[in-house]
Amino acid sequence: MPIVPPILLRARRRRHRTRGDGGHFPPPPPPALTLVGVDGVSVFAGQLQMNLIFDTTFENPIGDPSAAEPTKWTARYLGQKYVGVLLAPVVEDQLFLLMDPAGAEAGADVLSYANAPSDIFDALGRSLAAFAGFAI
Protein backbone atom coordinates (compact mmCIF):
# COMPACT_ATOMS: atom_id res chain seq x y z
CA MET A 1 0.00 0.00 0.00
CA PRO A 2 1.42 3.41 -0.96
CA ILE A 3 2.17 6.01 1.65
CA VAL A 4 -0.05 9.11 1.31
CA PRO A 5 1.31 12.36 2.73
CA PRO A 6 -0.91 13.80 5.53
CA ILE A 7 -1.65 16.96 3.51
CA LEU A 8 -3.44 14.91 0.86
CA LEU A 9 -5.44 13.04 3.51
CA ARG A 10 -6.79 16.36 4.86
CA ALA A 11 -7.69 17.53 1.38
CA ARG A 12 -9.70 14.40 0.75
CA ARG A 13 -11.63 14.78 3.99
CA ARG A 14 -12.73 18.37 3.41
CA ARG A 15 -16.38 18.90 2.99
CA HIS A 16 -17.85 21.72 1.06
CA ARG A 17 -19.58 24.22 3.25
CA THR A 18 -22.94 25.46 2.22
CA ARG A 19 -24.34 28.86 2.90
CA GLY A 20 -26.54 29.18 5.96
CA ASP A 21 -29.59 29.68 3.75
CA GLY A 22 -29.15 26.33 2.05
CA GLY A 23 -26.91 27.67 -0.71
CA HIS A 24 -29.68 29.63 -2.36
CA PHE A 25 -29.18 33.10 -3.67
CA PRO A 26 -31.71 35.83 -2.95
CA PRO A 27 -34.30 36.40 -5.64
CA PRO A 28 -33.44 39.04 -8.22
CA PRO A 29 -34.92 42.48 -7.64
CA PRO A 30 -38.24 43.13 -9.34
CA PRO A 31 -38.06 44.69 -12.79
CA ALA A 32 -38.29 48.46 -12.97
CA LEU A 33 -41.65 50.18 -13.05
CA THR A 34 -42.57 50.91 -16.66
CA LEU A 35 -44.61 53.61 -18.34
CA VAL A 36 -46.69 51.66 -20.87
CA GLY A 37 -48.85 54.38 -22.33
CA VAL A 38 -50.24 57.89 -22.32
CA ASP A 39 -53.94 58.62 -22.62
CA GLY A 40 -56.17 61.69 -22.85
CA VAL A 41 -53.51 64.05 -24.17
CA SER A 42 -54.97 67.51 -24.63
CA VAL A 43 -54.23 71.20 -24.27
CA PHE A 44 -56.71 73.07 -22.09
CA ALA A 45 -56.32 76.75 -21.20
CA GLY A 46 -52.74 76.61 -22.47
CA GLN A 47 -51.74 73.68 -20.24
CA LEU A 48 -50.93 70.19 -21.48
CA GLN A 49 -52.68 67.40 -19.60
CA MET A 50 -52.51 63.63 -19.86
CA ASN A 51 -52.89 60.38 -17.95
CA LEU A 52 -49.72 58.30 -17.54
CA ILE A 53 -50.36 54.53 -17.61
CA PHE A 54 -47.99 52.17 -15.76
CA ASP A 55 -47.56 48.40 -15.55
CA THR A 56 -49.18 48.17 -12.10
CA THR A 57 -52.15 46.20 -10.82
CA PHE A 58 -55.07 46.64 -8.44
CA GLU A 59 -53.18 44.54 -5.86
CA ASN A 60 -49.94 46.53 -6.31
CA PRO A 61 -50.94 50.06 -7.32
CA ILE A 62 -48.87 53.07 -8.26
CA GLY A 63 -47.63 54.95 -5.19
CA ASP A 64 -48.84 58.33 -3.96
CA PRO A 65 -47.13 60.98 -6.12
CA SER A 66 -47.67 63.84 -3.64
CA ALA A 67 -43.96 63.96 -2.76
CA ALA A 68 -42.83 63.56 -6.40
CA GLU A 69 -41.25 66.46 -8.27
CA PRO A 70 -43.47 67.22 -11.30
CA THR A 71 -40.82 69.48 -12.90
CA LYS A 72 -38.80 66.34 -13.71
CA TRP A 73 -41.42 65.63 -16.41
CA THR A 74 -41.08 67.44 -19.73
CA ALA A 75 -42.89 67.10 -23.03
CA ARG A 76 -42.85 68.44 -26.55
CA TYR A 77 -46.31 68.59 -28.07
CA LEU A 78 -47.44 70.33 -31.27
CA GLY A 79 -44.25 72.41 -31.46
CA GLN A 80 -44.40 73.53 -27.82
CA LYS A 81 -42.22 72.50 -24.87
CA TYR A 82 -43.98 71.81 -21.56
CA VAL A 83 -42.78 71.29 -17.98
CA GLY A 84 -44.72 69.39 -15.31
CA VAL A 85 -46.51 71.31 -12.56
CA LEU A 86 -48.83 68.70 -11.01
CA LEU A 87 -48.98 64.93 -10.54
CA ALA A 88 -52.10 63.34 -9.07
CA PRO A 89 -53.36 59.77 -8.68
CA VAL A 90 -56.17 58.59 -10.96
CA VAL A 91 -56.56 54.80 -10.51
CA GLU A 92 -54.20 51.97 -9.56
CA ASP A 93 -52.22 52.14 -12.82
CA GLN A 94 -52.51 55.84 -13.75
CA LEU A 95 -51.27 59.27 -12.72
CA PHE A 96 -52.57 62.59 -14.04
CA LEU A 97 -49.85 64.96 -15.30
CA LEU A 98 -50.47 68.67 -15.82
CA MET A 99 -47.81 70.73 -17.61
CA ASP A 100 -47.19 74.42 -18.26
CA PRO A 101 -45.83 75.77 -21.56
CA ALA A 102 -42.11 76.63 -21.63
CA GLY A 103 -41.53 77.98 -25.15
CA ALA A 104 -41.50 76.76 -28.72
CA GLU A 105 -39.61 73.58 -29.59
CA ALA A 106 -39.67 71.76 -32.93
CA GLY A 107 -39.76 68.00 -33.18
CA ALA A 108 -41.89 64.94 -32.58
CA ASP A 109 -44.44 64.78 -29.77
CA VAL A 110 -42.59 63.10 -26.89
CA LEU A 111 -42.56 62.78 -23.11
CA SER A 112 -39.44 62.57 -20.91
CA TYR A 113 -38.74 61.89 -17.23
CA ALA A 114 -35.41 63.00 -15.80
CA ASN A 115 -35.46 62.05 -12.11
CA ALA A 116 -32.74 59.72 -10.91
CA PRO A 117 -33.21 58.34 -8.35
CA SER A 118 -36.86 58.14 -9.13
CA ASP A 119 -39.66 59.48 -6.98
CA ILE A 120 -42.33 57.47 -8.85
CA PHE A 121 -42.86 53.96 -7.44
CA ASP A 122 -45.44 51.22 -6.92
CA ALA A 123 -46.52 49.09 -3.95
CA LEU A 124 -43.86 46.48 -4.82
CA GLY A 125 -41.12 49.09 -4.41
CA ARG A 126 -40.35 49.23 -8.13
CA SER A 127 -39.27 52.66 -9.28
CA LEU A 128 -39.49 54.39 -12.63
CA ALA A 129 -36.18 54.82 -14.47
CA ALA A 130 -35.43 58.09 -16.22
CA PHE A 131 -36.28 58.06 -19.92
CA ALA A 132 -36.54 60.37 -22.93
CA GLY A 133 -38.48 60.33 -26.16
CA PHE A 134 -41.61 58.37 -25.17
CA ALA A 135 -44.01 59.00 -28.07
CA ILE A 136 -47.24 60.79 -27.22
3-state secondary structure at position 134: strand
Sequence spans of domains, the chain: 30-135
pLDDT reported for residue 26? 80
The whole-angstrom separation of Cα 100 and Cα 73 is 11
Residue ranges in the chain modelled with pLDDT below 50: none
pLDDT reported for residue 7? 59
Q: What is the DSSP string of 7-62?
A: HHHHHHH------TTTTPPPPPPPPPB-EEEEEEEEEETTEEEEEEEES--SSSPB
pTM of structure:
0.78
pLDDT reported for residue 41? 97
pLDDT reported for residue 15? 57
**Region 30-135: CATH code:** 2.60.40
Question: Does 117 sit behind a cis peptide bond, omega within 30 degrees of 0 on the bond before it?
Answer: yes
Whether the Cβ atoms of residue 35 and residue 53 lie closer than 8 Å to each other:
yes
